Amino acid sequence: MKTKGIFISLLLLVLLAAGCDDFESVSRVELPLEKTILSPENAEIYREVAKASPFVVSLDGYADVWIKTPKRTEKVFCNIRLNRGNQARMIVTSGLLGWPVADMYFSRDSLYVHDLIKNRLFLGSNNEQNLEKMLGVNSGYRMLTETLLGLVRISEPESAIRSVSRGQGKLQFTVGTPGGSKELVVDTSNRTLRALVLRDRNGKAATEIHFSAFEICRVGGNNVLVPKKIEMVIYRDGHQEEGENQLVISYDERQLKQDTLSLKFSIPAKARVINLDESPGLPWL
């Protein structure tokens, strides 16, 4: 019964109190349909987008966050701070009460969630199962943090490109991966990634990410276009017919930096420790 009740008080305060606002629905990006060739110009666009502004190292921002599962739809407000490819921290605030109620810390191998209301610390491994327990998405840590940043690096070389399509000012690159394929939808006018679709070996969509409401941010001596609104769709068990989980981030303000942030997490004094690895899924997922 102790483990079955994981996060109940936290959910009541964070999610039920803050979850009355309308859900920001995911906007689908229309995919190009006309086949074309991998010309030198198209290859250059792919290389530029795949790098994803490597001079951006960290983010510090405030965002509205919507979480939708087949069973529930909720909204929270978060201070999101992350060092690219390394650590992240999310301070969750109740939209109704207006004070912090949860402190979530992500390292490369561990997760910590401090329930600030009851002084409980949930800790466990940083894996897909625990990410889904916490945020409703099981995309993996690297994909999650780069999605929060709004800049997703693509590691596959040009030789992995299987096909190229075009239409309505966009290019779609279909890229082979060890687990299936990726589809990148790129706006050719400003060379920004508008959508990313990850498919399994059977061609079924497992994850979709959409980027919109782009704005120019100054980072050091560089200008970079980054999306204010980021939407992630996870198909449960890799099947669209089984329903989907959605995570929508809409930034109110943020700073992108060339240097790392201090994200030190201190173990709270006298907190009751609960093993997240051995806890069941949250009742609202």
SS3 147: helix
**Cα separations (Å) of 95 from 30, 65, 78, 152, 212?**
33, 11, 10, 29, 24
Tell me the pLDDT of the chain (285 aa) as tens digits: 444 333 333 343 344 344 444 555 555 666 777 999 999 999 999 999 999 999 999 999 999 998 887 777 878 899 999 999 889 999 988 655 567 888 999 998 999 988 888 888 989 999 888 888 878 777 788 888 999 999 999 999 999 999 999 998 999 999 999 989 999 999 999 999 999 999 999 999 989 999 999 999 999 889 999 999 999 998 866 445 457 888 999 999 999 999 999 998 888 888 989 898 887 654 433
Nearest to 217 by CA among 150, 162, 135, 134: 150
Q: First and final CA of the chain: distance in angstroms? A: 18
Single pTM value for the model: 0.83
Burial tier of 145 (Cβ tally within 10 Å: 0-12, 13-18, 19+): buried
